Amino acid sequence: MTDQRRSDGSLRHLLTLADLNRDELEMLLERAQHHVRRRGDAAPRSDVLAGITVANLFTEPSTRTRVSFELAARRLGADVVNLEMQLSSRVKGESMLDTVFTLESLHVDVFVVRDAEAGVPALVADNVGPAVSVLSAGEAHLSHPTQGLLDVLTILQRKGSCEQLAVAIVGDIRHSRVARSAWQALRTLGVGELRLVAPPALMPAAEEFAGCRRYDSIDDGIRGVDVVMMLRIQRERFADADIPAGDAYFERYGLTPARLALAQRDAIVMHPQPMNRGVEIDSVVADGPQSVIRDQVTNGVAVRMAVLETLATRPAPRRG
Ligand code: NCD
């Protein structure tokens, strides 16, 4: 496995939350909270990353994640280039690594990588020079570390701490990198209880998510929980699965106001987006008073600022 740390123990890459310890997670979350502003207030700005160049290398579609990485980098004073690879060099046959080496020659210091294939962020990390950092912005169904951090930050802002909380993740958990990263962070922070709610075909393998209780019934799964995290069915990640089609999915697994009433009265509702209203979530819930979905988006920029600062702040390299 690619080492995420430098020899002095500091974080150099962020490819997964799985091996971050509690101190590292709390340090990143604290730094992120420092960058959070209320909607309507001016965005935070600094120049700590002046002279640093960040390249967003995305081979899968993304709106929120790519835009928030770009804003985070710019708000810290970095230069940013965006490459949507399916439109450019990849289809021309140039390999991902050739593109990376080209960008390295152009003094890119940080690569933000999203790819549908497992192992691509680590492949980039293993091949760049020692002063370069790599950040996963979503790796296959496996890992989405900045999403995991922003999800936990959103929970902590509303609930204070994780230890007493019951959290239910609902929907296509099997294909969700969001669920895996959230679980890794919540586990390390000592979450009280994590429940998985999904049709059997969308449940992860038995050896994953150790210790989580599994439910086929959403009513049973969300009863009494403090946090309901809804997920999209990620049809792009599987060919076929035995899941209720059309309206039947919403009837069995959709989060409606009546179902949400089974959770704690002050339960919060989360969704990483993109949302399919009327499929996994009722619009009344998505836009309702218990929804923190917009906070998740706001927190995404703060978390990415914290991660970029942590990985990429270093003594100015000597050049030329
Ligand atoms: C998620 C992703 O890409 O994994 N979206 C995101 O990053 N906000 C979840 C999804 O696509 O359903």
pLDDT tens digits for 27-77?
999 999 999 999 899 999 999 999 999 999 999 888 889 999 999 999 999
Position in ligand 1 atom list of the atom nearest CA 172: 12
Phi, psi (deg, nearest 5) at residue 184: -60, -45
Task: Quote the CA–CA distance of 169 and 185 in Å, as a whole number.
Answer: 14
The CA 291 to ligand 1 mean position distance, Å, reads: 17
Q: How far does residue 162's CA lie from ligand 1's centre (Å)?
A: 23
Domain boundaries, the chain: 22-143+298-312, 145-293
Q: What mean pLDDT comes out for the span 176-196?
A: 98
| pLDDT band at residue 124 using 50, 70 and 90 as cut-offs | very high
Assess contact for 146 and 303: CB atoms under 8 A.
yes
Structure tokens at 137: 């912005």
Q: Is the CB of 178 under 6 A from ligand 1?
A: yes
pLDDT in tens, 145-170: 999 999 999 999 999 999 999 999 99
234 C-alpha to ligand 1 centroid (Å): 9
Question: What CATH homologous superfamily does 145-293 map to?
Answer: Aspartate/ornithine carbamoyltransferase (3.40.50.1370)
Structure tokens given for 57? 């290398």
| Helix H or strand E segment including 238 | none
Question: Which atom of ligand 1 approaches the CA of 273 most closely?
Answer: 8
Helix axes 145-159, 177-188, angle to 10 degrees: 50
Q: Distance, CA 294 to ligand 1 centroid (Å)?
A: 14
Instruction: Kindly indicate the confidence band of residue 313, based on its pLDDT and cuts at 50, 70 and 90.
Output: confident
| pLDDT at residue 320 greater than cutoff 70 | no
How far is the C-alpha of 29 from the C-alpha of 104, rounded, in Å?
29
Cα distance between the two ends of the chain: 34
pLDDT of residue 99: 92
In this structure, are residues 172 and 231 in contact, taking their beta carbons and an 8 Å threshold? yes
Q: What's at 302, amino acid-wise?
A: A
| pLDDT score recorded for residue 39 | 87
Q: Please answer whether residues 170 and 229 qualify as being in contact, where contact means their C-beta atoms are separated by less than 8 angstroms.
A: yes
The CATH code belonging to domain 22-143+298-312 is 3.40.50.1370
Query: For residue 240, what pLDDT band results from cuts at 50, 70 and 90?
Result: confident
The per-residue pLDDT for 219 is 98
Half-sphere exposure of residue 119, counting CA atoms within 13 Å on the CB side?
A: 3
Check pLDDT > 70 for residue 315: no
Query: Distance (Å, rounded) from C-alpha 174 to C-alpha 205?
Result: 7
